[in-house]
Every structure is written in structure tokens, then in C-alpha cells.
Structure 1
Amino acid sequence: MTGSNKELLLAELASLYGLAPSYTDNAGQNHPTTSSTQAAILRTMGLQCQSEVALREELNRRRCLPWTRLTPPVLALCQSQYPAVWDFHTLLQRGRLPHDLKGSWEILDESGQCIHSADFGPELQVIEVKNFGTDCFGRTAIPLPQTLALGYYDLKVRVETSGFERESRTLLIIAPERVYTPMALLTRRLWGFSVPLYALRSQTDWGIGDLGDLQRLLGWAAGLQASVIGLNPLHHLGLHLDQNVSPYYPTSRCYSNPLYLDLSQVPELATCRSAQEYLAQPQVQRQLDELRQGQRINYPAVATLKFKVLEMLLNTFLEQHGLPALPLTTRGRDFAAFLACEGEPLQRFATFLALSESWRTAGCSYATWQEWPSVYHNPQGPAVAEFAYTHQRQILLYAYAQWLLAGQLQDTSMAAAAWNLPLGLYFDLAVGVNPGGFDTWAEPGLFALDADIGAPPDEFSPLGQNWGLAPLLPEHLRESRYRYFIRMVRHNCPPVGALRLDHVMGLFRLYWIPKGLSPAEGVYVQYPAEEMLKILALESVRRQTAIIGEDLGTVAPYIRDILGGYRILSTRLFYFERRDDGSFTPAEDYPDWVATSITTHDLPTLAGFWQGQDIQMRQQLNLFPNNQAATRAWEDRRRAKLAILSLLQHKGWLPPDTAQNLAESPELPEEVKWRVISHLAQTPCRLLLLSLEDIFGWLDQQNLPGTKDEYPNWRVKLPKLLEEIEKAKEPQQAAEIIGCFRD
């Protein structure tokens, strides 16, 4: 066999599994996917591609799969897609259905109750035939009932022929045509604040912002006529908090970070003498003061302190309210009901954390579960079961923390509603997970652990980006009937709020980089976007959650068209909205169905942009490939500042002869800051989010991409206390400016 023939087979198999043959970069250059990348990704997917024989076997298996199964794993429909049918496949005899074919189907709702059923036989009409070797398969179409409400259904099919029985199950999704759209977004142009919750400081915090601070901030925002508070992802980061603490690198996207608990709101604290005495100790008070006053968040110290107190609170809870198996009070029964509702997934999550803690206590520096003894790699194995049996109290502690979090998050949503914030809370969903974290351990076979998510080289990152996140396997995700995806979306949708999807293009395709290769050697892998979007729409409507898609960077027009059809808000950043000649886009030319802001956590604040602090940091850390690149960055920044001033002058907001002096100002001029905010307030964009950093003119950005320990990523605290922010004139001034231009 020639190399070219093998490459053709490899390319065909890659196409069947959603690997793009090439991609086009920002400059319009086409980059073909190499055979070595195709082979590496296919191996990551569990396929054999080392020889022609192996490739042909994989091709045959993949082509046959839809025909050899009775029904597909998933059928997703909009309510408007009637009359609808479901496909049924079976082996034919002489081109016809077997004469002794006996079949039945039933549709079960989410409670497990059968709501529709019917029998069928050889009278069904074959509408398509496919031959594989000596076998001939046929496809028939059976009508679906037209009375199905929105929701998930279990379609069960049983077939008997020639004494042989087969069964199949399909997840049937009946979804709305679009995501939930609050009336306020349809009728008004809203605005609010974006806040890194971890960075909030107050006179009562424990070294990190918490949900108590957030509840207070909601009341303050409502007083300024804001509509929403946008937050960083609240995902659980695991227990290795001396390492990566990025909220976009979670151990799980299905559970929340207990460091955000406001322990002063936990009822057990009022009666827990051990916790009260512990917190009253002078050395503990000194530690709290140090954590509060530190300019950077000390995650390990905060976690140690909070969990020490949580253990005491759990002991008090069990004494007063009983074990979950034998609850003594209403509060005890509430906890037991929570555990029963969350079920096995929460038990597994708490067990994972207890295992992680046990290794750390034993002095083992395991950063990932792959480093654990192999007997603990299987979450359903006997070693894990034995550990769970002997560590029930520790496991209960982590479940107790999630229960408290669920309660405080619900209280926070209720506070937003009580303050009449039209959008309330705006959560953020990370695009991937830590490959050594809980989600990949709990869902074996669902993630590609030999590849990372990233981005190809472009003008902003000439070498490309490797985010180190584990991608979901599209085929396995669908075969699992989207169990993980549904749970993840449901957990992150705040009721009567909004959810931002980081890198929303990941619903359509993700850039995979094989382990050991550079970002330039990656490939785009397609995902079943239509089915995932229907799940998103269903969960959004059920929770009354608006959806925002972060679609920055190179985005195929068809993706934005589809997202717009689902009423998912697009994203626009002031920095990026520029014309081909370098000028900034006029306010009236911004799209309507958009969430806009000046910057994000990965980009400089407006003050930092003006001073070039990000460029200075990159120079100091040698992040530019050469001196010429740094020089070009400074030149581009100078031109950008002049373009900003030209935009503001064109509006008549700045005198025509001040541009040069303002551009040379070492600090962001106040008039420029307020006029940029005014510019965005004038846009037709449905949602405007302003960061506290931009309102106050603070310099430090939350994350400097391309760095790890060189910059205090995700550890930067806000310069002012919450009590000072509440009294400051700058937010009031921002609200007054926005009020002049927005509904």
C-alpha cells in the first residue's frame, strides 16, 4: 500500500469523526491538517489507524453504526418540528422487513411513566436501504405523537424476529425554538457591573470575596439602577490550590467553589461553641486580619481556615439534626432530601475530594488522579468503594459544603429578585476542565485525555495557545445521551438570571492539540451543535435564564447566524470593534442583540491599556518572540489611543486640538474614561457590562495569558473595600452617564 492511499483512508476516517481538513486564520491563510495530526487525534478518540487494515476496519465500523442499531442514541426536535418521525433500522430479508417482525415502542416521561406506546410489524414501509457486505439493512420512519410537551423522554424500542430479540433506547428531546428571553431584554437596553467575586474585599471577608459580599453588592447595584451583576465562573477548583487557581480550569463544572461560602450565614455557627471559641482565639484573629489585608488572595490559607470551621459546623449539625439516614429535624430532612436529589454524582464527587485530601494528608504530592495508585482510577471499583465506606464523615463534609452553597446561591438569586434587578445574576461557564480533575475521573471515556483545547496561531498569539483543558469526545458525549452536558448546563443556569458560555464556538467545534505537539499542529473537531443547542434552550427556558455567547475572535458567519436564531446574545468588546482602517466602530454600527463591554479578564483594563501596562509586563517577562514584536505592540497601542481620541472628537466630546497631548498622557485621562463609557452606553447593544476596574481606573488585570507564576493570575484583589465602593462617587457618576443614554 502506498503512503498516499493510507493518507486518503486516514482523511476519510478523520472526516467521519468530525476532524476539519483545514482551517482559515485571521489573515485568510488556509492551513491544511497534517496526516500526523489526524492520526494522533483519532488515536486519542480510541481508534486504530496504524495500518491500512486497521483503517478499513474502523471505516467499515463507523459507516455501519447508524444502520446496525435499532434507533439513534438521541433525537432532538423543536416543538414546531411536527409532523415528526423517528428512524428505525433493522436487517432486511430479500430487501423487505422480516415477515415475522414483531415490534413495540413506548415513550416514558422524566418521572418514568409511560405516556405513549404502540406495536408495529412488517407492514412498515422501508424508505431507504443500505448494503454492507452480504447484509442488507433498511430504514423506516415511525410518526411521533404530536402532544409531547417540552422536556426529555425515554424512547424504548423492542423488536423480535426469528426468535431473536433486540432493544434500544433513545433520548428524545422536545425543545423550544430559542433560549429564554426576559421581557426586559426585549424592551430595554440594560446595563450592569462585571465583578470578579474572589477579588471582592470587605471588612468581614476571610481573605476572599464571598456570597455574603455579593448579596450586599446586589443591593448597592440596584440602588444605581443596574440590572445585573456579572461574575467569574464559580466552579469547584479542587484541593490543589497552591497550583492553578483559574476559575476557567476547574476540577468540575457541575459543582461550586466552597471558598465562596459566607460562613457567618451558616445557622450552625450560632450554636457551635467550638467554632466560636476557635475564631475568638487571638492567633486566628491575626490570621484573618492578614488574609483580609493581603493584596493577593492566599487560596490555600483561606481553604484551610474555612474547612477547619466547616468541620466543626458539620459536627454541630449532626448533633442537632441527625445523620441523613435518620434526620431529627426539618433542617436535617432538608439535607437528606438534597443528598437524595443529587444522588450518586454528588457522592462520587465528595469521595473524590476525600481521596484527594487523604493523599495530601499522607504527604503524597499527587496533582492529578492519574498519579494515584491505579486501583483508585476506577470510580466504581472496589478500592474506591472500600475507601468510601471507611471515610463517610469526610465525604459527608464535602457534601455538606455543597448543600450550604446551594442554599446560599439560592438566597443570592432571591436577593437579586427582591432588589428587582431584571437580569439578576450573570454566571459564567468555562469551556473545559482540568484533565486531572474530578469530571474526567467520574466520566471515564467521555474526555480525550491525550489532547488539549487551545487556539491556532493568530496575530494576537503568533505561537498559538494551549489552554491545557480536556475536550469532550463528541461521539461518546452523544452515546452517553448528553448526561454530563445536561447536568453541567442545569447546574450553571441561575434562575431568572443569565449564563455566559465561554468560547461558545465550542458548541460547534473546538481546536484540539495532540499531547506533545505545538498549537500550530492542532485541528478543529466538530461537535453535535444542533442537539447541544436544543438542550441549552430547554434548560434555559426551564430556569428562565438568558444566554450570552462569548464569540470573540475568528468566528464563521454561519455560527453567529445559528446563535442569533436561538436568541443567544453575541459579545462585542470595545477594544476589538475596529474597522479595516483602524478606526473604532461608531456606536450606531454595533449590533443590537449583543452584550458589550470594554474589556475582559484576559485583557488590560482601560487604564492599563492606556499606560501599556500589559505590554510592559510582557516585555519584562520575555513573552514577545523578539524586540521587533514588542516595538510593533507599542506602535499599535499608540495608534489605538489616537483612534480612540479621534472617535471621541468625532462625537464632539473632545476639543480637536487635544488629541496629541491626551495620547501622550502617562495616565488615562478622566475625560477619556467617561467618554468611552458614554460611547458604549450609546450603542444599541441590549446589555452593557462595566467592570469596577474600568469605572475606578484601576491598572491591574485579573489574568495575563501566557503566564503562570510570573504574574498573580486570579489572585489580584480589588484596591477598594466593598464599604468604600458603596460610598464612592465613580459608580454613581457611571450610572448617571449611562442613564442619559440607556432606557
Structure 2
Amino acid sequence: MTELTPRLSQLAAAHGVATEFSDWQGRHTPATAETVLAVLGALGVDADSEEAVERALADVEREPWSRVLPPVMVATEQDQVVVPVRVQQGAGFEAELVLEDGTRQVLDVVPGERGETRELGDTTVERTDLQLELGLPLGWHAVQVRTGGDTWRMPLVVTPARVELPEVLRSPEAQSWGLMTQLYAMRSSESWGTGDLADLGDAGAWAAGLGADFVLVNPLHAAEPVGEMEPSPYLPTSRRFVNPIYLRVEDVPEVAYLSAAERQLVEWHSDDAKRYLDLDMLERDAVWRVKESALRLIFPQRRSLRRSRAFQAYVEREGRGLVDFASWCAVAQEHGTSWRSWPEELQDPTSPAVEAYREQHAEEVEFHCWLQWNLDDQLARAQRDLLDSGMSLGVISDLAVGVHPEGADAWGLGDALARGVTVGAPADQYNQLGQDWSQPPWRPDKLAELGYAPYRDMVRAALRDSGGLRVDHVIGLFRLWWIPEGMKPYQGTYVRYDHEAMIGILLLEAHRAGAVVIGEDLGTVEPWVRDYLAERGVLGTSILWFERDWDGGGALLPPESYRELCLATVTTHDLPPTAGYLQGVHVDLRHRLGLLERSLEEETAEEERSRDEVLADLRQRGLLRAGAPVAEQVEALHAFLAQTPAKLVGVSVSDLAGDTRVINQPGTDEEYPNWRIPLAGPDGNPVLLEELSTWPSARSLARTVDRSPADRAR
């Protein structure tokens, strides 16, 4: 088909595929038939001819009648749950509700409540609605129906209508502040070349002494275990598991059982890794080779009975997902990290060949399970340490949008992730050709068929041992921009997800973890989405430079007009640290890289105009004196945020250090060392955590956002 006919558009709508959308300027934009057909193909729908479209539409009509129960239902605790049951006309059935705790409740089927029918071949199928009691407990339940000698089971997920703020943030005037850091870049003299979980605990203890309530870290998701490690924490091999480069080797308990000679080897490895602390750029691959060698020395050491049981309990808890991840790591050691280039029999994680490989390399698989267990242990310890230091939230984790298309999740999750398309963003004022993030998206239909289990497991892992979770590009839980392979980013279209299910499950797991949820809602967002997230207790993200009254001419938004449910910050990882932003380093960098769409003079003038407007507002409010140096300007900007009603205020560790270098330059790959920049001071020289903690300038900046003990709702 070469055009978007009404029937093709109807089919696309049935599968959540947009045939038109509004661009960043509000202009109506149609999707092409080529794009729609490719996206439908990625969803397993053949629509290449008018006949195929008619067959696919018939399938849409027939599908719910071909199953006894829906694949899954997600509701809030306040909803009246009505479960449709479809069985052969005249056939009896029994139904029961199985609660998460194992409690069973027989569901009465009242004669006369049966409703509409459909003919499926020679069979007449009749629908009966089961109305469940109001006020079901939160949790992962199931509805079971027995008919004709078979049993059908449907997951029923009951979620909070709203996730409530922790006690410390519930009073109207309450506000907490915390650090934001790229953990790999924040190093101490004890780090093995990159920051680790012990550094996280130390930084948190220091910040808690300054009044901080949380530390927001970059995604700690797993990266490649061999070869070149992807530097971007937002393009991981798995979002469920963690990068072992963050382990502090000396904190693994089995170090105590090393022989003197083995202990000396570990110390040599440590000294070798610490050489990289003096470099201007991070050397992840070199650091991981040294750290992995040390960990492989520790792995065979005997474990106490307590530790052995804890390891076994961890493996059992994580189940098949952990085994698949560890198996991918083992195969990658031999065949490389691109699973599509593996021998064909190893490309399917459920194949007999993979099972045989797993058995033949059982020790290697166990090693990677062991690494994840130690990461789980050290993450838990870091969170305990932060809470013991006086923080009310502790670690706030970060969840990336997607995963590497050749990585462990893309292999292990099978067709739960779509093939032949990638995730990105449509054209906007900053990227007029759009963006391709090279990540396979969730298939909404497969997530439903799987009862959202892969999504739940990922969210649950991200929330474990955390006081909060930041969800990058939270709009992706509503709709994602799918780009067919071979097409340009601007040639994609949106695919919708069941946001009630996606948000509901996120809130259920956050409720159980006692955690706050922060949705990164910058960029092109449908107006109703922010209201919906606020109603359900999800905090938004507000960046000072972008907070303007766009309906009233674009003036800087006054602090009192900020929304209450948000994390307010001056900068983010896609902007320079504040000192660098004030000096226009991002404009100079984009000019050198050929990324400017206007002349350097025009861009510089526009940036200066925007910055001067903000600084003038600060002076008018008495937050900044005329002629103040950059360091005072940075403090004044943060003092501005402290006057907002925002529940959370984040301060970048880079700002505490006075760093100016860009962490990540959007629109580049190897043209700039994204995600490879260690924490540095104003002079560009690397700064270690012990040094930073002694700087009066860092303490002074922290004081600008820390409310007095009498005002802070601890």
C-alpha cells in the first residue's frame, strides 16, 4: 500500500500507531504510509495490501473473543473491577480470585448476567462480566476460570490511585535538597579509577552533614562485560542489572579469605587502577580489566554458610532473568557482545544449545550471578549508610529509556522488545532532524501478553534499596517515537502504550519500596500528561533556564509559580555545569563541532540575552549583587530555586566543584568524549571527593539550598 487509506488508518489506531501528530510548533503533521506499514510490521501486523488490512482488522475484532480472559488487567484500588469472561455458549464455568498472598475467593456467576455473543466458526461465544468487590488489596493477584476441563489464568494488578510523598515532604512548606552526580566521575583516592558504591556512601555521608536528604545518581545499569564498554549510562546492555565496575573490591567479604600472595595481587591491581585517577579522561575499559581480574581472584574463595545461603536466596529471587543475563555475559566472553553475530543456535535464549552452553560454562555463569549479588549487597549497604547518616530518602536511582539493541536485555527478553525499529524523538527546536537513540522499544501487545512481568521486574530492581526513582523520558510510558530501520529520525511516528498500566505498576512498586517517583517530563509533552502525573503523585522535572511563562510571552517564571510536585534544578547532564553555562562553553563547543544552525555571533548573542535576563531578575530579587563573579552567580541561581515550592531541589556535584566541562553533548557520538569526563575544578584539573569535601565554596553553595533546622520538615 502506498497511501494511508481510511481502513489502514483504522488498523493503525487499533494498534496504537499514530497516523498524524502535532509537531513541536503545534503544526498538524501526517505520518507516511511507508512509516505506518513498517511500524505495524514491527508489531507483527501484515498490512501490505488491502486484503491484508481487512484480514488484520478482522483479527482485531476476533482476538478478544478467541480467549476466555483478557491477557491482563491493571486497576487502581478505587476502581470497580469488571472482568469479561468469554466461553462457549451454554458452557458452565467456575471462577475464583487468587490474591497475592495465596488467599482464594470464589467468584459467583449469577445466571441471567450473560451478555453479547459472537460467532467464531461453528462456535457461538458468549460474554459474561464478573464484578469484583470494591477495595481489593494492592498487589499482583490473578483471576482463574475453569471451563471445559481447562483452566485460564489472568494477572490482575491492583495499584495505588496515587503514590503519597514520604512524611518528610508532606507539610506545605517542606522542601528537601540533595546531590546529583555521575557516580563514575565522582572519585576518591580509594577508587579504582572510577567512582564506586563506596564513594556513593561517602559522598552521601558528607552531604547529609550539610543537610542533604538524597543523592540522585546516573543510571547504574549493566554495560558490556568484555571488549569496549559503552560509556553512556543511558545505553546499557540491561536495565534490570547493574554494572559491576561500581563494585568496591575491598568491600567484598570474601577478600578476608585470600592468601597473603592473593591479597598482594589484589593490592597490585588496586595500585594499577588508581593510576587512572590522574588522567583527564576516564578509562573504563582499562579500569574494568584490572577490577575484573581482582574479582576473579576473590570469586573462588570459600563463603561462610550465611553468605552461601544469601547467595542462593538471591539467585532464587531473581530467577530466570538473572540466569539469562549471566548466560549472555558468559557467551559474550567467547563470541562478543553483539548477540546477532553469535552462532545461530545461541541467538535464542530458550534454545537447547543455550542450555547446553550454560551447563558447559556453569562456573562462568555463576561468576556473573555472583557479581550481581555483590552489587545488590553493596547497594543495600550504601542506602543503609545514607539513611543512618540522617538522609530521609537516600539514593534516588535513575531509569534509562531503553537498552542497547545488541545487548543482554534485547537477547533475553525476546519479542517483548520490537525488532526493526528504534526509539527516538521527533524534530524540535534543538534537533530539527529528530533524534535516533538506537534502542528497541517495548512492544505494548507483548507486554500485555506477558502480564507486564518484564517491566515489573525492571522497575522493581531499580527501586530496590532506593528512596526514589527518576524515570528518564517518562513520556515514554504514554507514547514513544518509533523509527523504522533505514529511515531518518524525523520519519518516525508515535506508538501509544497503556499508560494506566505502565504508571500504575510503577506506582505499586514505588509504594512497596516507600519511594518517590520523579518523571523527566522535558521536551514535547501533551498538555494533559503533566496533569495526569501530578494527580497520581509523580513529581515532574523543572530546569531553571527552561521554566518560563510560555503562554505569557516567555518571561522567566517567578519562583512562586513553580509547581510543587517537581525536582527543581539549575542544570542537567545534557547541559554544561552551571559555571560553564554562564560562560557559554556549550555554544563554543557546538560551534567547534559544527552543530550550530545559526552563526556563532547570533547564537552567542541570543544566549547572552537569555542569561542576562535571568541574572537581572536575580539582582532585582536581591539574590545577586552587581558585578558578582561566576561563583556568586551560581549560588544566586540555586538560592532562587530554594524560594520555589518545589518539593525537591537538586544540586549537581559538578556545580559544587565549580566544574565547567560538558558531561554530554547531545547530537554527538565520538566527536566529543561524552560520559568520559571526571569531576574537575574550575581549572579543569580532576578533583577527588576528599578534596571537594574540604572546600568552603562547596559548603557555601550547599547553604544556599538548605533550609534552617526550624524550617526543615525532617
Per the normalisation by structure 2, the TM-score is: 0.94
- Cα distance in 2 for partners of 1:432, 1:224 equals 35
- Cα distance in 2 for partners of 1:681, 1:147 equals 40
Structure-2 residue corresponding to 1:125? 113
In the alignment, is residue 483 of structure 1 matched against residue 453 of structure 2? yes
Residues 212-259 of structure 1: CA distance to partner in whole angstroms, max 9, x if unpaired? Answer: 111111111110011111100110012256253211111111111111
Shift in Å, 1:14: 0.8
The 10-residue stretch of structure 1 (291-300 or 594-603) with the greater mean CA deviation from structure 2:
291-300
SS at match of 1:315: coil
Structure-2 residue corresponding to 1:608? 580
The 10-residue stretch of structure 1 (731-740 or 527-536) with the greater mean CA deviation from structure 2:
731-740
Structure-1 residue corresponding to 2:697? 730
Shift in Å, 1:280: 4.0
Change in CA separation of 1:727 and 1:251 when aligned onto 2, cut-off 3 Å: same
Change in CA separation of 1:346 and 1:3 when aligned onto 2, cut-off 3 Å: closer
Shift in Å, 1:449: 2.1
Shift in Å, 1:557: 1.7
- Cα distance in 1 for partners of 2:150, 2:355 equals 33
In the alignment, is residue 302 of structure 1 matched against residue 302 of structure 2? no
In the alignment, is residue 230 of structure 1 matched against residue 227 of structure 2? no
Structure-1 residue corresponding to 2:85? 88
- Cα distance in 1 for partners of 2:337, 2:158 equals 41
Correspondence for 1:183 among 162, 167, 171: 167
SS at match of 2:447: helix
SS at match of 1:229: strand
Structure-1 residue corresponding to 2:547? 577
In the alignment, is residue 499 of structure 1 matched against residue 469 of structure 2? yes
Shift in Å, 1:513: 0.7
Structure-1 residue corresponding to 2:656? 695
Residues 160-199 of structure 1: CA distance to partner in whole angstroms, max 9, x if unpaired? Answer: 3xxxx55422111122211242011212111111011000
Change in CA separation of 1:79 and 1:654 when aligned onto 2, cut-off 3 Å: closer
Structure-2 residue corresponding to 1:326? none
SS at match of 2:414: coil
SS at match of 1:247: coil
- Cα distance in 1 for partners of 2:123, 2:6 equals 26
Alpha carbons 1:582, 1:640 under 8 Å: kept? no
- Cα distance in 2 for partners of 1:646, 1:280 equals 54
Q: Which amino acid aligns with 1:611?
A: Q
Correspondence for 1:202 among 188, 191, 198: 188
In the alignment, is residue 537 of structure 1 matched against residue 524 of structure 2? no
In the alignment, is residue 275 of structure 1 matched against residue 262 of structure 2? yes
Alpha carbons 1:156, 1:169 under 8 Å: kept? yes
SS at match of 1:9: helix
Structure-1 residue corresponding to 2:301? 316
- Cα distance in 1 for partners of 2:226, 2:256 equals 30
Structure-1 residue corresponding to 2:683? none
Residues 389-431 of structure 1: CA distance to partner in whole angstroms, max 9, x if unpaired? Answer: 1111111111110110111111111112211211111100011
- Cα distance in 2 for partners of 1:170, 1:180 equals 28
Correspondence for 1:157 among 140, 145, 161: 145
SS at match of 1:105: strand
SS at match of 1:316: coil
Alpha carbons 1:241, 1:299 under 8 Å: kept? no
SS at match of 1:714: coil
SS at match of 2:678: coil
Change in CA separation of 1:477 and 1:62 when aligned onto 2, cut-off 3 Å: same
Residues paired across the two proteins, number: 699
Shift in Å, 1:384: 1.0
Alpha carbons 1:190, 1:688 under 8 Å: kept? yes
Alpha carbons 1:208, 1:292 under 8 Å: kept? yes
In the alignment, is residue 116 of structure 1 matched against residue 105 of structure 2? yes
In the alignment, is residue 144 of structure 1 matched against residue 159 of structure 2? no
Alpha carbons 1:426, 1:497 under 8 Å: kept? yes
Residues 322-371 of structure 1: CA distance to partner in whole angstroms, max 9, x if unpaired? Answer: xxxxxxx2221221222222222211111110100112xxxxxx441111
Structure-2 residue corresponding to 1:547? 517
Shift in Å, 1:377: 0.6
Residues 443-480 of structure 1: CA distance to partner in whole angstroms, max 9, x if unpaired? Answer: 11111121111111111111111111110001111111
RMSD of equivalent CA atoms: 2.0
Percent identity of equivalent pairs: 33
In the alignment, is residue 677 of structure 1 matched against residue 664 of structure 2? no
Correspondence for 2:381 among 401, 408, 411: 411
- Cα distance in 2 for partners of 1:8, 1:133 equals 28
Correspondence for 1:356 among 327, 332, 340: 332
Structure-2 residue corresponding to 1:586? 558
Alpha carbons 1:76, 1:534 under 8 Å: kept? yes
Structure-1 residue corresponding to 2:706? 739
Q: Which amino acid aligns with 1:142?
A: L
Alpha carbons 1:236, 1:253 under 8 Å: kept? yes
Q: Which runs of 5+ in 1 are unaligned?
A: 92-96, 322-328, 360-365, 663-667
Alpha carbons 1:194, 1:691 under 8 Å: kept? yes
Q: Which amino acid aligns with 2:93?
A: G
Residues 505-553 of structure 1: CA distance to partner in whole angstroms, max 9, x if unpaired? Answer: 1110001111111111010100011011111111111111110100001
SS at match of 1:138: strand
Change in CA separation of 1:339 and 1:15 when aligned onto 2, cut-off 3 Å: same
- Cα distance in 1 for partners of 2:531, 2:702 equals 33
Correspondence for 2:595 among 582, 600, 623: 623
Shift in Å, 1:670: 2.5
Q: Which amino acid aligns with 2:666?
A: P
Correspondence for 1:346 among 322, 329, 334: 322
- Cα distance in 2 for partners of 1:81, 1:386 equals 47
Correspondence for 2:571 among 574, 599, 608: 599
Shift in Å, 1:644: 1.3
Change in CA separation of 1:130 and 1:635 when aligned onto 2, cut-off 3 Å: farther
- Cα distance in 2 for partners of 1:106, 1:379 equals 34
Shift in Å, 1:270: 2.2
Residues 661-705 of structure 1: CA distance to partner in whole angstroms, max 9, x if unpaired? Answer: 77xxxxx62321111111111111110001021233211121111
Alpha carbons 2:20, 2:29 under 8 Å: kept? yes
Equivalent positions of 1:323-472 (< 5 A) are 329-359=305-335, 366-472=336-442
Structure-2 residue corresponding to 1:107? 97
Change in CA separation of 1:494 and 1:623 when aligned onto 2, cut-off 3 Å: same
Change in CA separation of 1:603 and 1:3 when aligned onto 2, cut-off 3 Å: closer
Q: Which amino acid aligns with 1:170?
A: M
SS at match of 1:445: helix
- Cα distance in 1 for partners of 2:156, 2:691 equals 52
Alpha carbons 1:180, 1:540 under 8 Å: kept? no
- Cα distance in 1 for partners of 2:582, 2:398 equals 27
- Cα distance in 2 for partners of 1:435, 1:37 equals 20
Structure-2 residue corresponding to 1:172? 156
- Cα distance in 1 for partners of 2:124, 2:296 equals 63
SS at match of 1:55: helix
Shift in Å, 1:624: 3.0
Change in CA separation of 1:157 and 1:725 when aligned onto 2, cut-off 3 Å: same
Alpha carbons 2:78, 2:135 under 8 Å: kept? no
Shift in Å, 1:135: 6.4
Structure-2 residue corresponding to 1:94? none
